[in-house]
Amino acid sequence: MTEQTGQGPEPAHERASATQIGARGPEGLPDEVGAEPGQADRATTGAGRPEAGVAVLPAFDDHHPPEQELIDDCVHCGFCLPTCPTYVLWGEEMDSPRGRIYLMEIGRQGEAMNDEMVRHFDQCLGCMACVTACPSGVQYGKLIEATRQQVERRYPRSRRDRAFRALIFRLFPYPRRLRLLRGPLRLYQRSGIGTLARRAGLLDRLPRRLSAMERLTPDLGPPEPVPEVTPAAGPRRRRVGMLTGCVQRVFFPGVNAATARVLAADGCEVVAPATQGCCGALSLHAGREAEAQGFARAAIETFEAAGVDQVVVNAAGCGSAMKEYGHLLRDDPVFAERARAFSESVRDLSELLVELGPVAPRHPLPMKVAWHDACHLAHAQGIRAQPRAALRAIPGLELREIAESEICCGSAGIYNLVEPEPAAELGDRKAANVLATGADLLVTSNPGCLLQLRNALERRGQRLAMAHVAEVLDAAVRGAAPASLVARER
């Protein structure tokens, strides 16, 4: 049972124990203590981060705490450290995978869950670079997922933190609510108010999280609805369901339309059920277990009813979450088996296209393309070769690799909204590496990465054309000119 040791400053013995294990705030980030009134409210990292001042004893309850056997797989070798974005930024042990696993261990041993412990878990991007790097096969994804669920269930976040997270989770997983925003947002963007406010430095006066939200809003184009059924061009090879997503559907409708055209050109009948909702990825990756389970059950029922062979996903974060449904619903007697079968049917777009082999001829696209590995594609799903193979099959396209490709760009679901400072540092680092490729076009597979990188480039005063891999393949299939991709900037 949860015992909260009080609102207000955490008890001295809990502070001491966190300090003993080396936990402290990242260096080099603004320490807002002593800042002018109001300044501290804007910080999300460092000493001014909104924290609850509460310690929960013990840290974990009996409902799926991080598993001891998985913790024991870590042999403390440290091979994961150089690929962990937060360790790369701050060099702090407790902001590394090994440090976070140690915090899980002491949490299991009865240590209190306090602000410092939660901060180190919150600052993890969930990028899974450590999973790729780990020679011992540590399943960090399951560990951090279980830990985040404990945090969300047991730790009373500060009022401001709760309010901001409530805004995110009452908005982003609901395409209808997002769609209502399209009109006012288009008006805001076309009026130029945002540009003026930015130039006048007014956005810098907003709380950092709200300012990040404004800067990460995509430029909205016209809606491009996807038909419920797109017939295969030529003989039907598969009947596939297509996840249209929440952010993707409302803010990047052209990506879904391109995905359906490419799949149809390669012999798939594409079913995009109009009744589908959110896949639950944002909720799952933020530790909101019950909410994620609800979305997962609904998605399974929707695609089962559609009678499809496979479910194809064009957003890396969504695909990785849907491949985890079997684990997410393992305790549900009605859905456990259905969820496992469903997860096995899920394919990333590039994974399915390479599995099928191309049918439609690809027309030349003579251009230099930098491929950005989205973490939830490369690390969480292990999909690296397929998008590269799909792009290399386009005549004339020159693929360029980005240095430090294993390091996250800082997008990471809602990370760039709730932890904007480290997200911006990682974005800046990635933007520099992208520009160094000399590419004409940046291509990736996740809407969040596109927004994050556009924002990072804008901070440098630079722009670069960006596209989803589906849009590049679609242009090659349709014989569109490279200018049709390069002319657009996200």
- Residues lying near ligand SF4 in the complex (CB under 6 A) are found at 74-80, 83-86, 97-98, 100, 124-130, 133-134, 136, 138, 140
Taking the least distance from each CB to ligand SF4, the nearer of 60 and 102 is 102
Helix residue ranges, H only, 274-384:
281-285, 289-306, 316-322, 325-328, 336-345, 349-356, 375-378
Nearer to ligand SF4, 125 or 216 (CB): 125
CB 410 within 8 A of CB 422: yes
- Cβ 154 to ligand SF4 shortest distance, Å: 20
Work out whether strand 310-313 and strand 238-242 pair parallel, antiparallel, or are unpaired. Answer: parallel
Nearer to ligand SF4, 127 or 370 (CB): 127
Beta strands in 200-275 (DSSP E): 229-230, 238-242, 268-271
Q: Give 239's contacts (C-beta < 8 A, 6+ positions apart).
A: 268, 269, 271, 307, 308, 309
Cβ closest to ligand SF4, residue 270 vs residue 378: 378
Closest distance to ligand SF4 from the beta carbon of 79 (Å): 4
d(CA 175, CA 443): 25
Min dist CB 449 to ligand SF4, Å, is 15
Nearer to ligand SF4, 10 or 92 (CB): 92
Nearer to ligand SF4, 83 or 381 (CB): 83
Closest separation between CB of residue 75 and ligand SF4, Å? 5
Q: What is the Cα–Cα distance from 162 to 52, expressed in whole angstroms?
A: 10
Q: Give min distance, CB of 120 to ligand SF4, in A.
A: 9
Residue among 78 and 361 whose Cβ is closer to ligand SF4 = 78
State the nearest-atom distance from the C-beta of 389 to ligand SF4, in Å: 26
> What is the Cα–Cα distance from 398 to 370, expressed in whole angstroms?
9
CB closer to ligand SF4 out of 378 and 473: 378
User: C-beta of 167: minimal distance to ligand SF4 in Å?
Assistant: 24
Beta carbons within 8 Å of 370's beta carbon, 6+ residues apart: 400, 401, 402, 434, 437, 439, 441, 442, 443
CB of 242 closer than 8 Å to CB of 318:
no
Nearest alpha-carbon partner for 442 in 471, 474, 408, 476: 471
CB 394, CB 473: distance < 8 Å: yes
Q: How far is the CB of 228 from ligand SF4 (least distance, A)?
A: 37
